[in-house]
Amino acid sequence: MPLIDMPDFSTDLLNEFAARRTERVNTPVIQPAEPFLDMAGEDLRRRIFLTESETGANLCLRPEFTIPVCLRHIETATGTPKRYSYLGEVFRQRREGSHEFYQAGIEDLGDTDIAGADARAIVDATGILKALLPAGRLELTLGDQAVFEAVVRALGLPLGWQKRLIHAFGDMAHLEALLDRLARPQPVTGLDREVTELIASGNEAELIARIDRTMEETGYSTNASRSPTEIARRLKEKLELAETRLDGGALLLLREFLTLQLPLAEAPAALAGFADAADLKLGSAIALFDARLTALANAGADLSAMTYRAAFGRPLDYYTGLVFEVTQAGSSAVLAGGGRFDRLLTLLGAKERIPAVGFSLWLDRIDTARSGVAGGKVETGFRADPPREEKTSQ
């Protein structure tokens, strides 16, 4: 039996899901832990309740629904497009002190109209919240990881640095630390001088032979998890990343991009102006951003209540494009959040690429808002611009 009561508006919520022609699904409370540990991100990993099966397999209490719903879709070999809805308990450590609470949401799998599906997710999330909170004004913050990735790629950084920056998207403290390292590279210490010289010379064959000899001499080769070739390539990458310096102009451009914050309706012009002034080719990422805005306008969305923040992200590693969160005006408590996760189903084992977008609703916070005690006065553990570890996860 559940340890907490189902919210009294759950019937209204399920009716909203039915009106949007979704299929309601449930998933087991006990889940395999690896998908969450591998793909959900550091923020969620710290909050998961882990356990083991009798055979020693890593298990956890369900910390969110997106991964379980996707796994269920793959296991049942259901075709796409498919729209799922869910409502149930999730378990994770929270700053509010609660460990079990109800979450609901929609996962939209397989729709190849990316802009249209993105717009539908936003319209559904805000529409459901308006139905549950008719007296409150909603505000939405939108980011786009694909646009950030396009900017990073256009700057011509090594692939390793691109991955580092993209992984830090949404965490400004981490991003700032990485940008400081790009501005002031730190030399790699602790490497043997001969190894350093071989890396600098580009003589990979001799470097591999040198590593192989060292492994033989130390007896490490019998239980090494990496071959001499792999170690050589990782050393070269480490040295290259440590020595990479982003020139002042490019660094200024990246910092300028991350400061962009403006009404969503004005964002396409601002992004186009930034790309032209910086002479950056942002291509399909900007085209999709524009198409999403058009789809939102055609769907009758209230664009005046939406803000674009170039640095805004959400603390889950599987997002690939759109990310958004919804609050009530005057409150910092996030009521809904979601985004696009086009790579997730392939990583979970799907045989073909399945585009996907979705959102979750935080029912305890919605209940608080319905009680008329939100307005930013309830202690939720969230600030207006919280650090990555305090942000909500779908």
Q: Residue 223: pLDDT band by 50, 70, 90 thresholds? A: very low
The residue ranking higher by pLDDT, 184 or 246, is 184
Q: Residue 373 pLDDT more than 60?
A: no
**Cis previous bond, 2, omega within 30:** no
pLDDT tens-place string over residues 233-254: 766 666 565 656 666 788 888 9
The residue ranking higher by pLDDT, 216 or 80, is 80
Domains of the chain are: 10-151+260-390 (3.30.930.10), 193-243 (no CATH)
Nearest alpha carbon to residue 340 among 110, 180, 177: 110
Supply φ then ψ for residue 85, to 5 degrees.
-125, 155
Q: Residue 1 pLDDT more than 90?
A: no
Rounded to whole angstroms, the Cα distance separating 232 from 210 reads 9
Neighbours of 248 (CB within 10 A): 9
Task: For the chain, list the strands marked E by DSSP.
Answer: 23-24, 30-32, 50-52, 58-61, 82-91, 100-109, 138-144, 261-263, 306-309, 322-328, 334-340, 356-362
For the ranges 15-19, 30-34, 177-181, which has the lowest average pLDDT? 177-181
For the ranges 4-13, 92-101, 151-160, which has the lowest average pLDDT? 92-101
